């Protein structure tokens, strides 16, 4: 994954601009302390298409993922919270 695509993942595709969300979103801080779920890493294609992640509802952990013409909706509070945290981290801010 190249640099611009990584930037796309961390800033463009999340579609969030909620400074201090962890402080104001009920339960986010607690969720952030959860251990990351363990799952077997699938074999990834060498040249991956862009992936768009849309945290539709942080409270329920509803995350919409799009790759190619595929679209899946997950309910994963930990993933949703980690995406928020990554988006809100200082190094993620667009300069």
| Best CA proximity match to 13, nearest among 87, 74, 81 | 87
- Report the nearest approach of other proteins to the CB of residue 50 (Å): 5
By CB under 8 A, residue 12 contacts other proteins: yes
Q: By CB under 8 A, tell whether 74 contacts other proteins.
A: no
Q: First vs last Cα of the chain: how many Å apart?
A: 20
- Give the Å distances, CA to CA, from 79 to 6, 40, 57, 64: 17, 15, 12, 11
Stretch that binds other proteins, among 34-42, 44-52, 74-82, 85-93 (CB under 8 A): 44-52
d(CA 76, CA 47): 26
Interface stretch with other proteins, choices 21-29, 31-39, 46-54, 82-90 (CB under 8 A): 46-54
Give the range of 17-25, 31-39, 68-76, 81-89 binding other proteins by CB under 8 A: 68-76
How far, rounded to the nearest angstrom, does the alpha carbon of residue 4 sit from its chain's CA centroid?
16
Binding site for other proteins (CB under 8 A): 4, 8, 12-13, 49-52, 54, 66-71
């Amino acid at each position: 994954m190249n640099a611009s695509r990584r930037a796309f993942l961390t800033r463009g595709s999340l579609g969030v601009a909620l400074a201090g969300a962890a402080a104001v979103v009920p339960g986010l801080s607690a969720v952030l302390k959860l251990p990351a779920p363990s799952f077997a890493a699938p074999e990834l294609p060498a040249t991956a298409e862009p992936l768009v992640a849309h945290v539709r509802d942080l409270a329920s952990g509803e995350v919409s993922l799009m790759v190619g013409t595929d679209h899946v909706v997950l309910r994963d509070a930990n993933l949703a919270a980690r995406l928020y945290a990554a988006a809100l981290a200082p190094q993620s801010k667009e300069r």
